[in-house]
Amino acid sequence: MKNILVLCTGNSCRSQMAHGYLNEFLDNRRVKVYSAGIETHGLNPGALMIMKEDGIDITHHTSNHVDEYANVDFDYIITVCDHANENCPFIPSKNAIRIHHNFFDPSKVEGTEKEKYDAFLKARNEIKAYFKEFSENNF
């Protein structure tokens, strides 16, 4: 069993979308996916909505702090924002492969409902493509 941690600042949006796609792309019998933040902000309604549009239900996810997983030995630790990458606490996984990719943060977009929707769509599509390729190349 491989353990993957997706880490973001607040575990509300980008890491939650990545978690949803990894569960979709990988066989849950071989991989356990965790997502966490260096803070917890709760699930972002925009992320829930945009993932549902793509057939991925993340409503059962919770916003977790990275310290909750201190005893998990991760095989991959993937940071999905620069802030988490720069401020990540030490995670004592023996042989974890650490990967960083900064994704655009749709939760920071202000404007019309259409502009906000487009921001979530852009982020979702980038995250989906990245984690599809990650899944195909590593498992």
Question: Which of 32, 41, 72, 88 is labelled catalytic?
Answer: 88
pLDDT digit string (tens) for the chain, length 139 residues: 999 999 999 999 999 999 999 999 997 678 999 999 999 999 999 999 999 999 999 999 999 999 999 899 999 999 999 988 888 777 877 789 999 999 999 999 999 999 999 999 999 999 999 999 999 999 9
Predicted pLDDT at 87:
83
Model's pTM, two decimal places?
0.95
Domains of the chain, first to last: 2-138 (3.40.50.2300)
Structure tokens, 64? 């977790």
8 in active site: yes
* 13 classed as catalytic: no
